[in-house]
Amino acid sequence: MTAIKRSTPRPRARRIALVSTVAIAGLVLAACGNDDDMSSMDHGSKSSASASATSGENPAPGTFNDTDVKFAQMMIPHHEQAVEMSKLADERAEDAKIKTLAGDIEQAQDPEIKKMRSWLKAWGKPESGGSMPGMNHGSGGSDNSGMAGMMSDKDMKELKAANGTDFDKMFAQMMIGHHNGAIDMAKDEQKNGKNATAKKLADAVVKNQTVEVKELQGILDKL
């Protein structure tokens, strides 16, 4: 009987120990679960930040400086005038090459205007930068706007009033000066700009408009 009385507490002790072990294990698992939850929350936050940084929402990502901003602010109206000049060629030009080149200029520069506007919006900068000294390097064209190669109001009125060969000659002369101004502005961006996207467009402006200047000069020499 004594042996039986001594043995009865043992199952109870074992049950108590087992319950304690289960409880401890539950706490450990709960703690691990909380750690996992926190870890997953951290990972979620990091992935969101990474996604926002690499989602492509910024059309001109990376660092930028004042030269990049000025390049966009000044090249937008510069391009706009080139597009305006090019649209006149459809009804006024006589030379087929002038019409073709004017169409190429319009198709190339209109999308670039939209790109540069999107940069400025992403950078939190206004489209108009006001007076911007140091960007007018001189291009041999009439300029009353502080931008190299820009045509004056008088120039534009004369171009709009011209037709046929007179228009062709005037268009070629003005667009050569206009392009040379854009090339100067783009070279300034190549040298002093910081944003990779802006510098890439500057490279394209220098390359493409240099070719067009040669084409325009060739047309002009034959008129």
Q: What is the pLDDT along the chain (223 residues), one digit of tens a residue?
A: 444 444 444 545 454 444 444 444 444 334 444 444 434 433 333 332 332 333 458 999 999 999 999 999 999 999 999 999 999 999 999 999 999 999 999 999 999 999 999 999 999 999 986 544 434 333 334 344 568 899 999 999 999 999 999 999 999 999 999 999 999 999 999 999 999 999 999 999 999 999 999 999 999 999 8
Domain that holds residue 16: 2-54
Q: What's the CATH number where 192 sits? A: 1.20.1260.10
Q: Are residues 41 and 74 in the same domain?
A: no
* Res 4: pLDDT: 44
Q: Are residues 47 and 90 in the same domain?
A: no
Give CA–CA dist 141/148, Å, rounded.
Answer: 8
Give CA–CA dist 198/189, Å, rounded.
Answer: 8
> Would you say residue 89 lies in a domain?
yes
Which of 146, 134, 132, 151 is closest to 80 using CA atoms? 151
Q: Are residues 27 and 76 in the same domain?
A: no
Total count of domains within the chain: 2
3-state DSSP assignment of residue 93: strand
Q: Are residues 41 and 87 in the same domain?
A: no
* Res 56: pLDDT: 57
Give the contacts of 53 (CB within 8 A, at least 6 positions apart): 61
* Res 135: pLDDT: 40
Q: Are residues 116 and 168 in the same domain?
A: yes
Give bridge partners of residue 202 from the DSSP assignment.
none
* Inter-residue long-range contacts of 115-120, CB under 8 Å, 24+ positions, other chains counted: 115/59, 115/201, 116/72, 116/75, 116/76, 116/79, 116/201, 117/72, 117/76, 118/59, 118/60, 119/59, 119/60, 119/68, 119/72, 119/195, 119/197, 119/198, 120/69, 120/72, 120/73
- Tokens in use for 114? 């939209």
- Greatest distance between any 2 Cα atoms in the chain: 131
* Res 40: pLDDT: 40
* Res 195: pLDDT: 98
> Would you say residue 123 lies in a domain?
yes
> Would you say residue 84 lies in a domain?
yes
Q: Are residues 155 and 213 in the same domain?
A: yes
> Would you say residue 59 lies in a domain?
no
* Res 128: pLDDT: 83
Q: Are residues 127 and 194 in the same domain?
A: yes
Phi, psi at 186, each rounded to 5°? -70, -35
